[in-house]
Amino acid sequence: MWDPYTDEHRAFRQTVRQFAEKEVAPFATEWEEACEFPREIFTRSAELGLHGAHYPEEHGGAGGDYWFSVAKAEELPRCQTSGVSLSLLVQGDMATPVISEIGTQEQIDEFLRPALRGEKIAAIGVSEPDAGSDVAAIRTVAKKDGGDYLISGQKTFITNGSRADFITMLVKTDPDAGAHGCSFVLVPTNLPGFQVARKLKKLGHHASDTAELFLDEVRVPQRYRLGDEGMGFMYLMQNFQSERLIGAVNAVAACEIVIEQSRQYGETRRVFGKPLIKRELWQHRFVDLITKTEMCKAFVYKVVDAFNTERYVNKSAISMETVKGISMAKVAAGDLVTEVMDTCLQFHGGWGYVEELPIARAYRDSRLIRIGGGSTETMRYYLAKLMGL
């Protein structure tokens, strides 16, 4: 496998691995059962540079490239709780990149820098009860009132939503203009009219808080709008590329880790007098899983290299070829992780169905990749158009 990492990348990877294995994994079961984890995890991970490694130094980051974010996403599955992993990825890779890319200096100082330091928790607010992958169908409206917006509406499936200090929120500033009527606004959660309606109980990612939000004429200064009015949909599509790509990276890494854990289990689990992994049927299945994972990883790395070159080296817009590659990577990683988790759970037999072993949690958590950030069906719909089908 082609190795794109420098010694600096490798040192950062080791930092993330130690954090995941020593400071999160020992508490994974406790936090999963509590359906939350301490706020201090955000500040501790920020101290280690997890959020800002790939952000410009002038924005409070370390000035690294996108491979730092990839290394982080590959190591976070070692937390043994995807709820923590997802919350940290939202903080540094989903809710905040758009602030760095199009935010004013005031917005960067007030929102981005504190988020990279772990002092403010960030969330991204796009999905609504009647608008998930169909982003242009959102109904949350921002009406102008003097120098402010009055925002009213509802958001749901918001990771970090119940304790976020601000939401990077997509709203309709022109309800009659469809996708061209959307704008991005930074919404502090301590404003009158903002309400966390409830925390949602989920199939997986139990340690992360996923909330439903209500906004009733929340007064937000227009200076908190990100970029130009009416351009929010375009900004979101750009932001989605990083979110989808980092999701694919994280999913493939989870496959590698679960395959290795299962292999170790199979060496100690004896069935009919032999270690389970010595049964030819299972050997062949693991050969297939490892081969497919290597192939998927190679393709994901190819797309990451293109994305990194365009955005971080050339500092240019993402090409349509790279957009196509990102969507293909997300589809492929989603299909792969589904097969890997199902096969490895079956390999564990009855023990795979109880909470004592990590495979049960990994199986549940992996299901989100084919929904979040644009469903697999939506990705294939877009790909069919990009491929001229």
Which residues carry out catalysis? 243
- Phi, psi at residue 300, to the nearest 5°? -60, -40
Rounded to an integer, what distance in angstroms lies between the CA atom of residue 100 and that of residue 61? 10
What is the sign, positive or negative, of the torsion defined by CA atoms of 189, 194, 198, 201? Answer: negative
CA angle centred on 278, ends 359 and 338, rounded to 5°:
30
Asked if 293 and 255 touch (Cβ cutoff 8 Å), the reply is yes
Rounded to an integer, what distance in angstroms lies between the CA atom of residue 119 and that of residue 363? 32
Q: Which two tokens stand for residue 321?
A: 């070829």
- Angstrom CA distances, 358 to 11, 205, 345, stand at 27, 13, 10
b vs e for 60-90, b when ≥16 Cβ sit within 10 Å of the residue's Cβ? Answer: bbbebbbbbbbbbbbbbbbbbbbbbbbbbbb
